[in-house]
Amino acid sequence: MTYFTATASPVGKLILTGDGVNLTGLYWNDATPPAGAAEDAGPFAAVLAELDAYFAGELTAFTVPVAPHGTPFQVKAWAALVGIPHGTTISYGEQARRLGVPNASRAVGAANGRNPVSIVVPCHRVVGGNGSLTGYGGGLERKKWLLDFEAQRSRAAIASGS
C-alpha cells in the first residue's frame, strides 16, 4: 500500500509518500500523490518529527528509512548524497569521483535531479564545479535557502562549541 500526507515547511508545502515503513518520496507543493495512494499521516510520524527538528535547527542528519525507486546508478548516486555533511557542499564532479566514475558529473547531475526524497537525501548540497547553484527540483530559490540555513546552523554550532 502507498500512503501520502502533506505538511507545511519553511520552504513550502511538502508532499510525503511512503510504503508504511519507508519514505519513498518527498516532493514540493506542485506534486500529486500516486494514483491509489491513501492519505494517512500516521506512517509519517517519524519523518514529520525529523523534518520539524531539521527546520528547528536541531537535526543535521536524517535517520528515517528511505526507499527511493530508481535505476541502479540513481540509487547509488542518491546513497552517496547522505554522506555529504550538513552545512557543506561538494561539486557534481566530486560526487562522480566518490562514486568511482570521475567523468560522469553530468550523469550524477541527472540522477540527483531525479532524487525523489529531497531534503532527507540532500541533493541540495551538490553545486557546480565553480560553486555556483545549478539545478534543483525544488527550484534554485529553495536550494539557496536550504544551503544558507544549513551554513548558518553550522556556523552557530561551531561558535557555541557543539
Tens-place pLDDT, residues 73-97: 999 999 999 999 999 999 999 999 9
Answer yes or no: do 14 and 87 share one domain.
no
Q: What is the pLDDT of residue 7?
A: 96
Contact 29, 53 (CB under 8 A): no
Is there a domain that residue 63 lies in?
no
Answer yes or no: do 151 and 80 share one domain.
yes
Answer yes or no: do 87 and 38 share one domain.
no
Domain residues for the domain of 27 are: 3-55
As a whole-number percent, the residues of the chain with pLDDT over 70 amount to 94
Is there a domain that residue 14 lies in?
yes
| Residue pLDDT, tens place only, 27-56 | 987 788 889 999 999 999 999 999 999 999
For residue 70, what pLDDT band results from cuts at 50, 70 and 90? very high
Tell me what the pLDDT averaged over the chain comes to: 92
Question: Active-site residue numbers?
Answer: 123
Q: What is the pLDDT of residue 138?
A: 84
Answer yes or no: do 40 and 77 share one domain.
no
Q: What is the pLDDT of residue 30?
A: 76
Answer yes or no: do 89 and 150 share one domain.
yes
Answer yes or no: do 78 and 151 share one domain.
yes
Answer yes or no: do 26 and 77 share one domain.
no
For residue 132, what pLDDT band results from cuts at 50, 70 and 90? confident
Tally the domains of the chain: 2
Q: What is the pLDDT of residue 156?
A: 64
Is there a domain that residue 30 lies in?
yes
Residue 127: give its domain's CATH number. 1.10.10.10
Q: What's the average model confidence in pLDDT over 4-25?
A: 96
Q: With 80 as the cut, is the pLDDT of residue 162 above it?
A: no
The order of strands in the sheet holding 14-18 is 23-28, 14-18, 3-7, 38-39
Residue 4 Cα distances to 25, 42, 142, 151, angstroms: 9, 9, 22, 30
Domain boundary among 29, 55, 81: 55
Answer yes or no: do 28 and 79 share one domain.
no
Helix (H) or strand (E) holding 73: helix 72-81
Answer yes or no: do 76 and 44 share one domain.
no
What does the DSSP assignment read for 21-46?
A: SSEEEEEETT--PPTTPEE-SGGGHH
Answer yes or no: do 49 and 103 share one domain.
no
Is there a domain that residue 66 lies in?
no
